[in-house]
Amino acid sequence: MRKKIVAGNWKMNKTLEEGQSLTSEVKHMAEDELPGDVQLILCPPFIHLSALHGMLKGSPIGLGAQNCSEQESGAYTGETSVAMLQSVGVKYVILGHSERREQFKESNELLAKKLDVALKQGLVPIFCCGEPLEIREREAQDAYVQKQIEESLFHLSKEDVSKIIVAYEPIWAIGTGKTASAEQAQEMHAVIRKQIASKYGQDVADAISILYGGSVKPDNAREIFAGEDVDGGLIGGASLKSRDFIDIAKSFS
């Protein structure tokens, strides 16, 4: 049985006070309303991690960062290391989000290094992949995503790759209000799982959770999550409202 996961990527949103209110609401609603088999993860900005860890102590909700350095320590002004993240209770890290790929020029090669450093120190990477609109329009999305996976993941051992969560986020669906259809999401998730199976074996591929991200809302989550290879969601805008985030997570039940 694969884990069902709903992760909220807050991106660069919420002051500390706003983030604390949102966390408190999510925590209480999850306790009251959510069945125990959905793993919730909150990925706030770095600066709120420590405070939110304090609020989430004893709660099953996981804490994730939105990025980390590929370096372990040293003269890298403005960067945040895996060890620092762990020291404030972080368990997960989003790597390769399309916004980091596009705005900060993160390459597949750099992401391979970030994956190595995160895995070496025991953080669970949420590895993002996904194609831009022009690639989808040319129907070249499968090869595009497969290249991202091959170049960033395929140097990993079977043991390490088994620890990763994959998130498929078609760029044209992020923050646009335009979601991939449930069929498009399922199709790509199946392509990804097949690719992982061809390299690491079906048992490894079957155990990896693959999340969908891109304009997931309470009113479309159930349909998207119904895909047999869709194991949850990486939620942007809708994770900033506790009611919406919890309703999305409830779509699994």
Residue 67 makes contact with ligand 13P by CB under 6 A: no
Residue 96 makes contact with ligand 13P by CB under 6 A: no
Residue 170 makes contact with ligand 13P by CB under 6 A: no
Segment near ligand 13P (CB under 6 A), from 46-54, 104-112, 158-166, 210-218? 210-218
Could you confirm whether 97 is annotated as catalytic? Answer: yes
Selected from 169, 231, 244, 247, the binder of ligand 13P by CB under 6 A is: 169
**How far apart are alpha carbons 31 and 125 in whole angstroms?**
25
Q: Shortest Cβ distance from residue 72 to ligand 13P (Å)?
A: 26
Give me the residue whose beta carbon is nearest to ligand 13P: 236
Selected from 60, 122, 175, 201, the binder of ligand 13P by CB under 6 A is: 175
Residue 234 makes contact with ligand 13P by CB under 6 A: yes
**How far apart are alpha carbons 249 and 253 in whole angstroms?**
8
Beta-bridge mates of residue 41: 7, 62
Residue 90 makes contact with ligand 13P by CB under 6 A: no
Residue 122 makes contact with ligand 13P by CB under 6 A: no
Residue 242 makes contact with ligand 13P by CB under 6 A: no
Selected from 45, 62, 96, 214, the binder of ligand 13P by CB under 6 A is: 214
**How far apart are alpha carbons 43 and 37 in whole angstroms?**
19
Selected from 64, 96, 125, 236, the binder of ligand 13P by CB under 6 A is: 236
Q: Which residue shows structure tokens 């609109």?
A: 133
Which residue type is seen at 173? A
**How far apart are alpha carbons 23 and 64 in whole angstroms?**
13
**How far apart are alpha carbons 19 and 43 in whole angstroms?**
11
**How far apart are alpha carbons 1 and 19 in whole angstroms?**
32
Nearest to 92 by CA among 4, 165, 167: 165
Pick the catalytic residue from 70, 97, 99, 106. 97
Q: Which residue shows structure tokens 């060890």?
A: 83
SS3 17: helix
Q: Shortest Cβ distance from residue 217 to ligand 13P (Å)?
A: 8
Distance of CA 93 to the CA centre of its chain: 8
Selected from 40, 174, 205, 210, the binder of ligand 13P by CB under 6 A is: 174
Catalytic residue IDs: 97, 169
